[in-house]
Structure 1
């Protein structure tokens, strides 16, 4: 098991000892740390990343339809009131009927209460329905899995980049020492030139020894960072499944409240509600997308 709980803490340990190490010089061909996952991890996590996108899409669709119903109901309330006003004036404007068919016109105009009463009922439930619809609006309550994985991958890549830089620097020092060694074999060197080359050789050998020690430490850090990364990415995958389960479970309550607020009893909805099982849905998803069970079912 890794000695540190996160790659960030591993960086902290490395930085504490950096004062004792020779500096790492970036070379022009140094590869830059990217924001993308490597090909293997991308393939490994692609189904879960796509699952989260689809979960957000489903949540947005549900929210959109509920809000559309709320607005439609609000519009109907307004239209019912307009209809009531039109109904009342429609018969009262008939002068002949008003003068001769008094009781009939009174009956007709009294019916105007239908629209107003329906509108009152719609208004009284509209606020509650709007509140229920808002319960599924937060599609960003769970951090995007892809971004979290990229963050972990970037941290790991920094260790790999540093190790590669050190190895390149070692190669350059070895080339310098080979060059100095060849120069020392020349017969026409005077004493001062030979002394200067030997001093350079001694300095380079000392630097090489320090660099080899730093490479050893950097290699250990990279190995440990890889272990932490592998552990963290599995934890992120597990957490992602917990989040998607919670997302699917969160759809039930607003729909129940919608039906209850509207005082609608529907057998089809009741049966679907009783049989709704996010656990079953996610298990089916895992069987299709991850048949080898890359993580343990809870």
Structure 2
């Protein structure tokens, strides 16, 4: 099943490949990869999928960083709180002058902020380590760039085919003009001989141009076949990368809970039930259900 020649699209435009089919047209829906009556596959969802995955990763990192900042501020506030009240009770020579055990009790309790700060400092360091384990930047190849690069050879082949077709059309138009001139009864014998020589030359050029067109068509078909393989490979790689991305979120969040000594409950259960493959399959069914059925019939 050959691909149709695809014109180069500007960045941001839907990325499609056409697969010729004799099957009747099927209506498109906004939730499926756009496939028209020629089974035209819109690959732009994998570009958006990568953008969404990158944003998701950044949001998780921002969430952990925000908690890290809260912990850092809490650490400082606890120490300030302890210093303040410890000084107040230890320096209260008026109301606590004779209350030795009361003063000792209040001074001791007010120092609890320092102990809490030690625990917070430990969790704060753990959060910073989690933060460092989540990538700041996109670590996977750009799907947009990959798909655009995959179109380079097919666009080149199509441009060459268009050039040869234009040349052939121009020669055919020239031949028609010569034949019309030969029908002109006002032309003398010498003029007609000249026109016939021109006709032979143009017909020879048309023969060569037709061969060029046929050769260009074969190159275009070859480029279409390679383009289909390339886009299928890019699609498969995109799903492997997004699976890796989703799986990479689990461990940092597990450590995140352990940092606060949360080992049971709904939070823990949600992490244990995390199933990236299930999520990706649901995504593919939503955007590429017809592609999946097409692959199963090949």
Same structural fold, with TM-score higher than 0.5 when normalized by the shorter chain: yes
Deviations 1:164-200 (A, max 9, x none): 2211111111111222333345455568756665554
Indicate the structure with greater helix content: 1
Aligned equivalents of 1:258 and 1:249: distance in 2?
15
Aligned residues: CA RMSD: 3.1
Could you tell me how far apart the structure 1 residues matched to 2:203 and 2:257 are? 80
**Cα distance change on mapping 1:252 and 1:32 into 2, 3 Å:** closer
* Match status 1:33 vs 2:15: no
Residue 286 (str. 1) matches residue 284 (str. 2): yes
Q: Tell me the matched-pair count.
A: 268
Secondary structure at the aligned position of 2:203 is classed as helix
Partner of residue 172, structure 1: 170
1:231 alignment partner in structure 2: 229
**Shift, 1:285, TM fit:** 3.2
CA deviation map 1:30-63 (0-9, x unaligned): x973323466666233544443333333222222
Bigger relative CO (Cα 8 Å, ≥ 6 apart): 1
Segment of structure 1 superposing worse, 252-261 or 180-189: 180-189
Query: Structure 2: which 5+ residue stretches go unaligned?
Result: 19-32, 35-40
Equivalent in 69, 74, 79 of residue 76 of structure 1: 74
Q: Provide the TM-score with structure 2 as the length reference.
A: 0.76
Q: Among residues 254, 257, 261, which one is paired with 1:256 in the alignment?
A: 254
Asked if 1:140 corresponds to 2:138, the answer is: yes
TM-score, with length taken from structure 1: 0.76
Distance in 1, Cα, partners of 2:218 & 2:96: 99
Please state how far the C-alpha of 1:222 moved relative to its aligned partner: 0.5
Write the distance in 2 (CA, Å) between the matches of 1:252 and 1:166: 56
Matches of 1:289 and 1:37 in 2, distance apart? 13
Q: Compute the displacement of 1:158 (Å).
A: 2.8
Aligned residue for 1:265, secondary structure, equals: coil
- Quick check: 212-221 or 105-114, which moved more? 105-114
Which residue does 2:273 correspond to in 1?
275
Local SS of the residue matching 1:142: coil
CA contact (8 A) 2:8 2:151 kept: no
String of CA shifts for 1:226-271, please: whole Å, max 9, x gaps: 1111122122222221112111111111112222333332232332
- For residues 37-186 of structure 1, the aligned pairs below 5 Å read 37=14, 43=34, 44=41, 45-138=43-136, 140-186=138-184
Q: Answer yes or no: is the 8 Å Cα contact 1:59–1:139 preserved in 2.
A: no
Unaligned 5+ runs, structure 1:
3-30
Higher mean displacement: 31-40 or 68-77: 31-40
